[in-house]
Chains A and B, each alone.
Chain A
Amino acid sequence: MPDFVFATAQYDSGDWDSAPMVPANIIDSVARYTGIDVAPTGVIVPLGSRDIFKYPLVYLTGHLPVRFTDAERTTLSEYCARGGMLFIDDHNHDVDGQFHRTAWEEVARAIGPLQDLPNDHALYRAFFKFPEGPPTTSHELNGWGDNLVHKHLQAVFEGDRIAVLYSSKDYSSEWNFHPDNKRFLSVDSTKFGVNLVIYALTR
């Protein structure tokens, strides 16, 4: 098994598969920028299964209200306690914030309350440097959150380690393109994804 396998969480409610190109894009970036032995394809891992413990970073997204099952909640809680990192990104394109509100409540219930992640956190310099904090996306005007441009990501900590990282910035839309098209970008927007992977693998 390679050092890193990108895992997308499949949960019982909602549209967990709304950003199908994100895994390939992050895998591409990890290979492009680092020497990490990365699997060429991502895997889909049911959030309630024990398979989740094979993957240090699990990506979860969707547009619709999130409602974890008991098994998902239990597994997720244990996953975070045992060192896993869950990256949740609000893929919402409406203004009522159903995903945002329900995902926050579910995270609070299963793991703990989300709090603003300081923009000078180690995550933002784990590989690439993001001195201003989380990179802005062209989609985040749509979502529900603190302002038009979300100043912070949110996190739940286990000690000083990020266990759950929550984003309202809609990276799922920003990164949801075929990696072959990355060559047309003047600035690669997926670099922050590399930071996520590095952070999850080293903390």
Chain B
Amino acid sequence: MSDSFERIRRARRALGLAATARGVIVALAVALGVLLSVFAVEAIVALPLPLRRAVLPFAIVMGATMFFWEVGRRIAPTWRASDEAMALWFERRIPSLRYALVTSIDADVVAPSPAGARALADSALEAEVSRAACALLVRPLATLLIALVALFLVLWGAPTGALTRLTEPRPGDTFARIGTGARAAGDPLATIVVRVVSPAYTGRTVEVIDDPSVVSALAGSRIVIEGRGVGVTAQLESIALVPTEQDGRWRIVLTVPARVAGLRLHGPARDRVLVVESIADSMPVVRLDEPTRDSVLRTARGTLVLRADVRDDYGLANGGFEYIVSAGAGEAFTFRSGRIAARSYGPGVREARIEGTLLLDTLNLGPGDLIHLRAIARDRNDVTGPREGVSETRTIRIARADEYDSVSVDPMPPSEPEKNALSQRMILLMTIDVRDRAPRLGLPALQRESRRLAVEQSRLRKRVGEVIFTRLGENPGEHAHFDGDGHAQGAEKPLDPDQVLAAAERAVHVDATRTLESEGDESPVVAINRPLLEAYNHMWRASTELETARPTAAIPWMERAIEALQRARAAERIYLRGRPPRVVVDVAKVRGTGREQGTPSMREARVSLDADRVGRLRRFDVALAIVTAAPAAAADSLLLLRLSLPVRDRAAAEALVIAADAVRRGGDVTAVLRRARRALADAPTRQALLPWGG
């Protein structure tokens, strides 16, 4: 009895091994079959890289699936079956057993009959197991053999690397595709491979692109364009490029131009257009975190903590803080500068934090001195750079003793005298320019330009006069009343600008040729405005000289006016930037109180298309007409149309490139052409950013 059980267990094990072997063979055959099928498809249609990358995993998954299916189908029933069922399986296959095997393992039967025991001993049980195992293996083995032979035959005639295109696909292996050589013999532009070698500082690897219509590369990159065959010439815009030819391949090397350009490849059979787009390197972005605001320090002692964040798209070279100390007043300023916490970065550092401290005690600062601080960083661009990014500038001012009680931190814009000083400087610069050009201008032109400046000078003088007048008592500020303002009207009436100016004239009725001397009985208001009064007078002299076409004589007066304005500025409070005050407008109160009435204009019908767009659509339609007859020419036409697009029309540019690629590949291109035409006709919509400077 135990012998019978042992026989059944051996048989079960042997059959299990055979089923496993069958599963492996079937899996291999299926995987090879998948590869062969894709190989056959590849001979007809070039499969894109993502699809080819999926072929091997797909074949492995298919093989594994078949393996588990086979094993599950063959082994599981065997192991699940009881010993009695196994015995009956043998009894059905070997009738001569006469149920001896079944009875030998039956617990209710004490012992098999002598005849049965003999039959069992003489049975060909092992032989039957062998036969069953062979039956399991023969057909799969044959299938596998056929697959292997087929693969060998295919590889024998295929170019080197053809199988690798499926098993280890990578960009640039287009030339290993079956039939490439034959196609290249007639048309060396049928297949091209482009390698983009980015500048070394970027640390980027070589990018390989198969058969592109557009190559986008960093400015300064080297582009290598390769194809099989001979007899190709090229032209980048108006520059002729000479390809090198070696081992049946042509090769063109060029550097990415600054602007988008079309590379025209001329072959024996046809021409082809390749669009080369330049991507500019971006400058480092620097954000100064501390000090957070401009400030005024009472004394120049202690330390300032400096913090900044810097980042760059390809890598930082160095960073740090810069400061400029400006000391002096009026037109006499001295400047000192220096760097703090300067540091260099190794390759690959794209983000960094700079920290440092500024020791105020070491800067020899005096009252009124200014420290201008900013963070700065440079990138590693050694081709078109390095590019330098700077943060906003913080200004730290050391207060003067006489302004300790008037230092204000109110957030306000620059004061009026400061603006006037700058305006005066602008007029001075223009006057100097006219003076320099005077010998070439001739008298009429000199008079004309000089009088134009005189008008500007008078206008500025009038503005200064208004400021002076406002401060000299007749303050048209919070207490002035006007018709219709809702206040009880007294004897006061609004003054027109001429009256304002006359009042200012009266207020400054002094000899303009001398500096105003301090007088004992003058009011504090007059004292503060004294420099403005001086400036006002100097401006009057300057405008008089300009009126008589004497810019050279006007310049000293302008310089004195600037100097006076600077003093007026120095007498002003210090205003700093900060969180703006929150003003809540009482909308209900002011609603409809405007003294003037406006009228919403009628909307004008939109212009459907501008002339440029119409022209581009016309060119598109021409390309459309030849899509069927000459798809390669149509694709080139679409690419040339893309080159003519405005830089900002990215949506149309991308749609045209996609359409050109689709037309070149063949098949149904209706959808992509429809999308491209819509993009050309519609208002520009953008989906991607332009490169810096693009």
B418 contacts A128, CB within 8 Å? no
How many whole Å from A24's CB to the nearest CB in chain B? 4
Q: Which residues does chain A contribute within 8 Å of B580, judged by CB atoms? A: 17, 20-21
B683 contacts A158, CB within 8 Å? yes
Q: Does B471 contact A (CB under 8 A)?
A: no
Q: Which residues does chain A contribute within 8 Å of B603, judged by CB atoms? A: 122, 202-203
Stretch at the interface among B22-30, B191-199, B422-430: B422-430
Smallest Cβ-Cβ distance to A44: which chain B residue: B580
Q: Does B336 contact A (CB under 8 A)?
A: no
Q: Which residues does chain B contribute within 8 Å of A95, judged by CB atoms? A: 422, 425-426, 429
A109 contacts B583, CB within 8 Å? no
B646 contacts A19, CB within 8 Å? no
Interface flags, B599-637, vs A, CB<8A=1, else 0: 111011011000000000000000000000000000000
Q: How large is the interface on B (under 10, 10 to 19, 20 to 34, 35 or more residues)?
A: 35 or more
Known contacts A77-B689, A125-B601, A184-B480; is A176 also within 8 Å of B413 by CB? yes
Known contacts A125-B601, A173-B413; is A112 also within 8 Å of B423 by CB? no
Instruction: Kindly state the separation between the CA atoms of A21 and B587 in the bound complex, as whole angstroms.
Output: 16
**Partner among B577, B600, B686 whose Cβ is within 8 Å of the Cβ of A17:** B577
How many whole Å from A128's CB to the nearest CB in chain B? 4
Instruction: Kindly state the separation between the CA atoms of A121 and B577 in the bound complex, as whole angstroms.
Output: 36
B591 contacts A31, CB within 8 Å? yes
How many whole Å from B464's CB to the nearest CB in chain A? 11
Q: Which residues does chain B contribute within 8 Å of A45, judged by CB atoms? A: none
Q: Does A27 contact B (CB under 8 A)?
A: yes
Q: Which residues does chain A contribute within 8 Å of B579, judged by CB atoms? A: 17
B601 contacts A29, CB within 8 Å? no
Q: Does B393 contact A (CB under 8 A)?
A: yes
How many whole Å from B191's CB to the nearest CB in chain A? 36
Q: Which residues does chain B contribute within 8 Å of A17, judged by CB atoms? A: 411, 577, 579-580
Q: Give residues 461-495 of B contacting A (CB, 8 Å).
A: 463, 476-477, 480, 482, 485, 494
If over half of B's interface residues share one DSSP class (helix, strand or loop), that class is named, otherwise mixed; here it is loop
How many whole Å from A18's CB to the nearest CB in chain B? 6
**Partner among A126, A138, A141, A142 whose Cβ is within 8 Å of the Cβ of B601:** A126
Instruction: Kindly state the separation between the CA atoms of A186 and B690 in the bound complex, as whole angstroms.
Output: 47
Q: Which residues does chain B contribute within 8 Å of A41, judged by CB atoms? A: 582-585
Q: Does A110 contact B (CB under 8 A)?
A: yes
Q: Give residues 530-585 of B contacting A (CB, 8 Å).
A: 577, 579-585
Q: How large is the interface on A (under 10, 10 to 19, 20 to 34, 35 or more residues)?
A: 35 or more
Q: Does B407 contact A (CB under 8 A)?
A: no
A184 contacts B692, CB within 8 Å? no
Q: Does B684 contact A (CB under 8 A)?
A: yes
Known contacts A95-B429, A127-B599; is A112 also within 8 Å of B648 by CB? yes
Instruction: Kindly state the separation between the CA atoms of A111 and B390 in the bound complex, as whole angstroms.
Output: 23
Q: Does A14 contact B (CB under 8 A)?
A: yes
B494 contacts A186, CB within 8 Å? yes
B686 contacts A81, CB within 8 Å? yes
**Partner among B419, B430, B606, B646 whose Cβ is within 8 Å of the Cβ of A148:** B430
Smallest Cβ-Cβ distance to B425: which chain A residue: A95
Q: Which residues does chain A contribute within 8 Å of B430, judged by CB atoms? A: 148
Q: Give residues 150-166 of A contacting B (CB, 8 Å).
A: 158-161
B683 contacts A159, CB within 8 Å? yes
Q: Which residues does chain B contribute within 8 Å of A159, judged by CB atoms? A: 606-607, 683
**Partner among A21, A141, A183 whose Cβ is within 8 Å of the Cβ of B460:** A141
B594 contacts A33, CB within 8 Å? yes
B594 contacts A18, CB within 8 Å? no
A109 contacts B494, CB within 8 Å? no
Query: Could you say which of A32, A34, A126 has the most chain B C-beta atoms within 10 Å of its C-beta?
Result: A32
Ordered by A's residue number, 27 sampled pairs between the chains whose C-beta atoms are within 8 Å are: A13-B287, A14-B392, A20-B580, A20-B581, A21-B581, A21-B583, A23-B583, A28-B585, A32-B592, A32-B594, A41-B585, A95-B429, A109-B690, A110-B690, A111-B648, A122-B604, A141-B423, A141-B459, A159-B606, A160-B607, A179-B585, A183-B485, A184-B477, A184-B482, A186-B494, A188-B596, A203-B603
Residues on A close to B: CB < 8 A? 12-15, 17-21, 23-24, 27-29, 31-35, 38, 40-41, 64-65, 67, 69-70, 73-74, 77-78, 81, 91, 93-95, 105, 109-113, 122, 125-129, 138-139, 141-142, 148, 158-161, 173, 176, 178-179, 181, 183-184, 186, 188, 191, 194-195, 198, 202-203
For the complex of A and B, the 3 pairs showing the least CB-CB separation, nearest first, are: A20-B580, A24-B583, A112-B648
Residues on B close to A: CB < 8 A? 283, 285, 287, 389-393, 411, 413-414, 418-419, 422-423, 425-427, 429-430, 456, 459-460, 463, 476-477, 480, 482, 485, 494, 496, 577, 579-587, 590-601, 603-604, 606-607, 646-648, 683-686, 689-690, 692-694
| Besides A158-B683, A179-B585, 6 other A-B contacts (C-beta < 8 A) | A24-B585, A27-B587, A33-B596, A127-B600, A173-B413, A203-B603
